[in-house]
Amino acid sequence: MARTAGGSDQLASARELLRTAKTAGELRTAQAVLLPLELGLSLEQTATAIGRSVGATCHLRTRYCRVARGETAAPRSKRTLRNRANATLEREAQILDEVLAGAMHGGVIVVPPLKEKVEKQLGKRVALSTIYRMLARNGWRKLAPDTAHQKADASLREDWENNCRGRWTKS
């Protein structure tokens, strides 16, 4: 015969979680705790009812009970997690407002010069992809490529354009 389900000390908090659940994960966790305690379902029956494996159901129950007792910390949401962020979202918006004052009125943004200004504001180096992601997060969509490389020689480029194979004509 299978063991009886533990966790009856978390019954009230599990009922509250079931009532206030905002995500499917929270709902499944509450069901994993409540179904065996209130309906007497086995772990296998509970797993079938919530649509998870037996191991995942056991893990949900165990983690919920440990968090409710204060033995471990609650898992953090992945949506609010920005572990390697250079600045908060508010600070990013503030930096872009300061740096892009001229582009606010329909101007075009050229990212390489913008990168230097943002690095100066942050006080550290960042990759170009970071600047592009920062602009996207803050709703900037009008981007233009840089017209020429900063170390390029304009006279050499002009000479090459005049003498390239595409302009040669057969004699």
Query: How far is it, in rounded angstroms, from Cα 105 to Cα 141?
Result: 13
User: Does 55 fall in a domain?
Assistant: yes
CA 59, CA 7: separation in Å to the nearest integer?
13
Residue 152 lies in a domain: no
For residues 159 and 76, which has the higher predicted lDDT (pLDDT)? 159
Structure tokens at 148: 């020429």
Asked whether residue 19 falls in the same domain as residue 65, the answer is yes
Q: Which domain holds residue 16?
A: 8-69
pLDDT at 79 over 60: no
For residue 84, is it within any domain?
A: no
Q: How confident is the model at residue 78 (pLDDT cuts 50, 70, 90)?
A: low
The answer to whether residue 75 is domain-embedded is no
Tokens of 154: 């304009």
Per-residue pLDDT, 65:
87
Q: Does one domain contain both 13 and 62? A: yes
| Number of structural domains the chain divides into | 2
pLDDT in tens, 89-124: 888 888 888 888 766 666 667 788 889 989 998 888
Strand, helix or coil at 143?
A: strand
pLDDT of the residue at 80: 54
Same domain? 93 vs 133: yes
24 inside domain: yes
Q: What is the pLDDT of residue 56?
A: 93
* Residue 60 covered by a domain: yes
User: Does 62 map to a domain?
Assistant: yes
- Top pLDDT among 81 and 155 is at 155
**55 and 95 inside one domain:** no
- Mean pLDDT, the chain, as a whole number? 81
In 3D space, the residue among 120, 114, 150 whose CA is nearest the CA of residue 134 turns out to be: 114
Domain harbouring 50, CATH code: 1.10.10.10
- CB-based contact 118:138 (threshold 8 Å): no
63 and 93 in a single domain? The answer is no
- Contact by Cβ (8 Å): 148, 157: yes
Examine the domain organization and report whether 12 and 64 are in the same domain.
Answer: yes
Q: Which of 81, 72, 64, 71 lies closest to 18, judged by CA?
A: 64
- The answer on pLDDT for 149 being more than 70 is yes
19's tokens: 């009532």
Q: Where are the alpha helices (DSSP H) in the chain?
A: 11-20, 24-34, 43-50, 54-69, 89-99, 111-122, 128-137, 154-163
Highest mean pLDDT among 66-75, 84-93, 114-123: 114-123
Q: What is the DSSP letter of 70?
A: T
Q: What is the model's pTM?
A: 0.46
Tell whether 166 is covered by a domain.
no
Residue 167 banded pLDDT, cuts 50, 70, 90? low
Amino acid 54: pLDDT: 93
